[in-house]
Amino acid sequence: MEDYRLSRHFWLSEFTVSETATRLGIDNTPSSEVLLNLAATAMDMEVVRTALDNHGIVPTSVFRCLELNRVLKSKDTSAHIQGYAVDFACPSFGTPRQIWEHLTQFPVGHDQLILEFDRWVHISFDPRLRNQTFTTG
């Protein structure tokens, strides 16, 4: 898969990389429809980056094909499958909890904003835009 910039600060490769997929030989190449979603998600992440005072965001899991998502024991309804969700850190801004708390106060349009296990932030831009905010673990 050819790498290219999805937005000013985000690349396709960082939105599709998966050590688990590589280790297990799973093809984590998104469809053309999902590529469009990933581009829109990258633009939404630019808004998140701005909200975090332009600190660099480190995506840890974005697109997951259905097979990879199942290996990771995530729901078949996960927004990651459609390219709408990003698990990330932003170490230069603060801890995942500090990031999550800051984003709850910033008008970032989202479907879900989740602090997961106090280890990373999950944000989804699923078109339902339910504006759900909570923690897990």
pLDDT digits (tens, 9 = 90+) for 73-127: 999 999 999 999 999 999 999 999 999 999 999 888 899 999 999 999 999 999 9
Across the chain, mean pLDDT equals 96
52, 93 in Cβ contact below 8 A? yes
In a domain, 102, yes or no: yes
Looking at residues 5-18, what average pLDDT do you find? 97
Whether 44 is covered by a domain: the verdict is yes
Angstrom distance (rounded) from CA 95 to CA 118: 8
Instruction: Indicate whether 6 belongs to any domain.
Output: no
40: domain range? 12-136
* Strand-pair category, 112-116 with 132-136: parallel
The reply to whether 115 falls in a domain is yes
User: What residues pair up with 111 in beta bridges, in sequence order?
Assistant: none
124 SS3 class: strand
Asked whether residue 2 is assigned to any structural domain, the reply reads no
Please list the residues that pair with 133 across neighbouring strands. Answer: 113
Looking at the domain assignment, is residue 98 inside a domain? yes
Longest CA span, the chain: 41
Lowest mean pLDDT among 56-65, 95-104, 128-137: 128-137
Establish if 5 belongs to a structural domain: no
Closest of 79, 81, 82 to residue 68, by C-alpha: 81
Is a pLDDT exceeding 80 seen at residue 1? no
Contact at 8 Å (CB) between 6 and 15? Answer: yes
Do the domain assignments include residue 64?
yes
What pLDDT, on a 0 to 100 scale, did the predictor assign at position 70?
97
List the CATH number of the domain containing 30.
3.30.1380.10
What is the count of structural domains for the chain?
1
Ramachandran category for residue 20: left, alpha or beta (phi over 0 → left; psi -120 to 50 → alpha) = alpha
